[in-house]
A = this chain, B = another copy of it.
């Protein structure tokens, strides 16, 4: 299937950088590596780290698969936004602390390969479409759950960017106009209910008002140490209160996803991120909320699934994005 050409995919996140080498026509990722971003050490540190990871991944891929040195056609970069794809600049990324940062050209020049930049959630959604859960679905929406909530929209097999590369910012959709305060300054954003930190914050609030739970003992009484991960572990341990926190999370997500379904009428919504480990405990109440809130003629035609590519998805999607930008639609 492959003609020997390969693309480097880079998935830059606030916490982790993933890098791998992706065959031009798809297939197993080579030389995959995943390291902490350590954004607090400054942009130069992060760029150097990415450049080294790319070189290491290319070297490993050459060893693993005997790829010729000139078979690397370029680099696809997925980064938190907002960003300007045309200039390859990250405009403003609170999680990294960067402003107007020319990420694409710095990486491209250092490695000596052409590069393209897009939003990380756009890349992840494209990855699901190309090689993951969304194969064969022309129109899908990806929702990435983490420190923030991102989104990507793929229409007819292409990322939909809107007119200034902002389309798909689903985390700051209002679902409760007078509701919880969001980090962005507004009230009632989806992210203020269902991001990792928001799940933890809601859990702590309930504990402070006296809900019985295993959670306090799991963090030796230091409630500030509770994370979405702790809530998940409490569910595994059978904690009823943690299950209730997850059901509420599912309802909030279901409300946001119902909005996306009413507006975009996609064939699939792919959810990714650590919280999806909760499986049906998340998905079943989420789907029930969607059925309540979305037009039946839309929700009946929309599969809601979790990512099938895991931590690979951003790398695969970034490579796909580079391919589409430089070699045309797939």
Contact = CB atoms under 8 A, between A and B. Distances in A.
Contacts of A264: 162, 167, 263
What is the copy number of this chain in the assembly? 2
Given A139-B163, A163-B301, A172 B265 contact: no
Contact of A175 (B174, B262, B294): B174
A98 interface: no
B297 A164 contact: yes
B265 A166 contact: yes
A266 B293 CA distance: 24
Interface in A259-274: 259-260, 262-267
Contacts of A263: 151, 153, 167-170, 173, 260, 263-264
A186 interface: yes
A9 interface: no
Interface residues of A, number: 50
B265 A165 contact: yes
A295 to B, nearest CB: 5
A48 interface: no
Contacts of A252: 177
A292 interface: yes
B162 A258 contact: no
A255 interface: yes
A298 interface: yes
A185 to B, nearest CB: 8
Contacts of A176: 175-179, 188
A138 interface: yes
A160 B160 CA distance: 12
Contacts of A153: 263
A162 B137 CA distance: 12
A27 to B, nearest CB: 28
Given A162-B264, A263-B264, A293 B172 contact: yes
A281 interface: no
Interface in A275-308: 292-295, 297-298, 301-302
A234 interface: no
B265 A164 contact: yes
A173 B262 contact: yes
A177 B167 CA distance: 23
Interface of A: 82, 91-92, 138-139, 151, 153, 155, 160-170, 172-179, 185-186, 188, 251-252, 255, 258-260, 262-267, 292-295, 297-298, 301-302
Which 5 pairs, one residue from A and one from B, show the smallest C-beta to C-beta distance? Answer: A162-B265, A166-B298, A167-B265, A166-B265, A169-B262
26 contacts: A82-B295, A138-B163, A139-B163, A151-B263, A155-B160, A161-B265, A162-B264, A163-B266, A163-B302, A164-B298, A165-B297, A166-B262, A166-B298, A167-B265, A169-B263, A169-B295, A169-B298, A172-B293, A173-B259, A173-B262, A174-B175, A174-B258, A176-B176, A176-B178, A263-B263, A263-B264
